[in-house]
Amino acid sequence: MPKRPAADDSATIARRIAELRETINHHRRLYHTLAEPEIADAEYDELIRELEDLERAHPAEAAADSPTQLIGGEISEAFAPVEHRVPMTSLDNAMDRTELDAWGERVLKGLGDVEVHYCCELKIDGLAVSLRYENGRLVQAATRGDGRIGEDVTANVATIAVVPKVLKSTKNVTVPEVLEVRGEVYLPIDAFERLKAAKEAENAERVAAGRKPEPVPVNPRNAGAGSLRQKDSTVTAGRGLAFWAYQVGEVVGGPEFASHHDTLAFLSALGFPVNPSIRVVASLAEVGDYCDEWQSKRHQIPYEIDGVVVKVDDLAQREALGFTARAPRWAIAFKFPPEERTTLLRDIQVSIGRTGRATPFAVLEPVFVGGSTVGMATLHNEDQVRLKDVRPGDTVVVRKAGDVIPEVVGPVLSLRPEGLAAWKFPTTCPCPIGSTLARNEGESDTRCVEPNCPHQRDQRIIYFASRGAMDIEGLGERTVFQLSDAGLVADPGDIYSLTIEQLLTLEGFGRLSAEKLLAAIEGSKSRPLPKILTALGVKHLGPSAAEALASAFGNLDGVMAASIDDLATVDGVGEVIAQSITSWFAVPDNREFVEKLRRAGVDFGNVEVSRLPQVLVGKAIVVTGTLDGFDRDGAEKAIKDRGGKSPGSVSKKTFAVVIGREPGASKVSKAEELGVPMIDEETFRRVLETGELD
């Protein structure tokens, strides 16, 4: 993005304003009319903010047709135009608490410092629509368009199951002669994932047939907008769109309302879906608390939100505050930090894991997204790179939601430089040996075939020392690379032979830090047997199966001596893991590695036996998100110590799902679908004591 002009350079300022208007109008059309944006919402907001700042500082440059004064975008010629009898305005944005508080102060000043209540609503990341009912029947549905003229999407909206087609009066509510209902059409996350998976499967067939893949939907908002704008309503019907009502427009022959929340109660009584998280609060401090709460909980719900809409609740106070040229003074949108940005894909490189798996990753022009600066992102495997069709030199969409690993969602094809070559998976390992990378038929992974590959060696040591394995504090990636480069370790067993003199030769190590690391290594010798089994890095052998084996055999020698049948009969192990274990121990080098650990004094028979009441026997509890009183391993251990199981996925057999901060959306959606109880941390603690939900 060009630098902002100096304050006293009038000609440069005029040129920058003209440039911004042209750029913003281009992106307005792509976003609102075509549902094919080239940049993320946050970048569009930055352009708008810059233009607003320049126009405010230089009022002589202001113009009525500036995009800062406009609402929405142009309507598509593919749909008939609809004139809104009551204009559909846009909203001003607050990007942080300071701007939110400033808006609140303007509201209080405009009303003469009277008592104000605020209605807080989740800002659904969808498409605004207006539904018109005459004598209780849905007669027209239209997009917002430019606020005055929208697009007629009646046939498509009629396919949305939750949108009432006929309204009926009851003893508590009478259907008005004319009722305009405004709300947001959106695509639920599970429907988006199905649509995305279907397109990826279709692309796999296209690639197999030698044809180019087609663009894959990058987020629910764009996919939802595209679904609503289908010319064939039967296509829309199959997409699974949903709707939340959030306001009334024109009303003829209806009741008089005193507050916004009264209108929402009226709509709910008529059968419209109204979001259950709407809350009326009595102060700006409570508004801020609501925003903070939902910023932390945004991934606990099965649809995308990108902020909170705050409205003055009293309708008479709204009337007194009025509107600017494009937005009401009585409402504002508090925007959450962006989780998607666009940036340049500089390169695609390959990392080698402990098993030789070669994983492609994106080297990006650093971009701030999801609360941190991202310079690299996963690309999963060769097939994903090919199906997404991302190429070095592309502008790509990068997504980072909460603590999730950053991911390249896909390319912005309209910005692809002409003649940009497709990326090809390398055939040699990036390690000094330069061994062959091979992909076996029927497998999705490409692997380095050289067991002595230095990259595999380093990753095996890193895994061995990780928290889920031997949990050696201070032996992280950077230190392992130092030890490896210095020739001090060739496998994980060598760490037990390290001396303080050797560590002092490494950069960044003083005597105190060297002694601390050696103490941590010594302490790892007494880790419980499940940790040791996990640390070996046997394919398919994870922590749960390791715990089951430790309980069944009591020591590592018993596991090594067991037959496939003996191993497979252990609950939670099975034939695949059993075969993998026996194959691993059959390799002489692996046996020698185990003996090296024995000679170092690693305890092969440390099996912890829980003395806690076994109140969770036969019960599976899934934990998702961050808890205040437990780390992930601690929560799982607390469940297992009481006889329960802590699987990684939700099923109909799940007893409960513990919801922490920023939980996995798929687990929340699955729990809702199956009717599995979802509990908070406080309830979880009671369950650990009693084994019961109540």
Domain CATH for 518: 1.10.150.20
Q: How far is it, in rounded angstroms, from Cα 163 to Cα 272? A: 7
For residues 659-663, average pLDDT: 83
- Identify the band that residue 451 occupies on the pLDDT scale cut at 50, 70 and 90: confident
Please check the confidence at residue 205 and state whether its pLDDT lies above 70.
Answer: yes
Q: Directed axis angle between helix 574-585 and helix 588-600, to 10°?
A: 80
Tell me the average pLDDT of the chain: 89
Spell out the long-range contacts of 471-478 with Cβ–Cβ below 8 A and sequence spacing 24 or more.
471/524, 471/527, 471/531, 472/517, 472/520, 472/521, 472/523, 472/524, 473/520, 474/513, 474/516, 474/517, 474/520, 475/517, 475/520, 475/521
Question: How many whole angstroms separate alpha carbon 4 and alpha carbon 51?
Answer: 10
> Are 211 and 234 in a shared domain?
yes
Two tokens, residue 34: 């075509």
**Residue 108 · residue 63 · CB < 8 Å:** no
Q: Are residues 106 and 202 in the same domain?
A: yes
User: Side chain identity at 609, as an amino acid letter?
Assistant: V
The reply to whether the predicted model has a pTM over 0.85 is: no
Residue that is last in its domain, among 316, 335, 354 = 335
Q: What is the pLDDT, as a whole number, of residue 29?
A: 77
Residue 81 belongs to a domain: no
Residue 76 lies in a domain: no
In whole angstroms, give the CA distance from residue 163 to residue 84.
Answer: 19
Given 335, 366, 400, the domain boundary residue is 335
Q: What is the CATH number of the domain that holds 22?
A: 1.10.287.610
What pLDDT score was predicted for residue 209?
85
Strands 331-335 and 93-94: parallel
pLDDT above 90 (res 571): no
Q: Provide the number of structural domains found in the chain.
A: 5
Q: Note the pLDDT of residue 26.
A: 83
Task: For 386-409, give the secondary structure using H, E and C.
Answer: HHHCCCCCCEEEEECCCCCCCEEE
Strand 654-659 and strand 620-624: the pairing is parallel
pLDDT for residue 473 is more than 90 = yes
Q: Is a pLDDT exceeding 60 seen at residue 3?
A: no
- Asked if residue 118 is part of any domain, the answer here is yes
Could you say which of 373, 404, 438 is where a domain stops? 438
Same domain, 42 and 150: no
Tell whether 133 and 277 lie within a shared domain.
yes
* 27-31, 131-135, 187-191, 360-364, range with the lowest pLDDT: 27-31
Indicate the pLDDT class of residue 383, thresholds 50, 70 and 90.
Answer: confident
Q: How confident is the model over 213-251, as pLDDT tens digits?
A: 888 888 888 889 889 988 888 889 899 999 999 999 999
Residues 132 and 149 both lie in one domain: yes
State residue 536's pLDDT score. Answer: 96
Is position 606 within any domain? Answer: no
User: Is 35 a residue whose pLDDT tops 80?
Assistant: no
Residues 234 and 290 in one domain: yes
Residue 312's domain comprises 93-335
- Give the active site residues: 123
Same domain flag for 128 and 268: yes
Where is mean pLDDT largest: 54-68, 302-316, 636-650? Answer: 302-316
Q: Is the pLDDT of residue 73 over 80?
A: no
- Per-residue pLDDT at 508 exceeds 70: yes
Same domain, 186 and 281: yes
Q: What whole-number distance in Å separates Cα of residue 639 and Cα of residue 627?
A: 14
In a domain, 612, yes or no: no
Residue 85 lies in a domain: no
Highest mean pLDDT among 35-44, 322-331, 592-601, 639-648: 592-601
pLDDT of residue 524: 97
Q: Is the pLDDT of residue 6 over 60?
A: no
123 with 167, same domain: the answer is yes
Query: For 20-32, what is each residue's pLDDT tens digit?
Result: 888 888 887 777 6
Q: What percent of the chain has pLDDT over 70?
A: 96
Whether residues 32 and 63 fall in one domain: yes
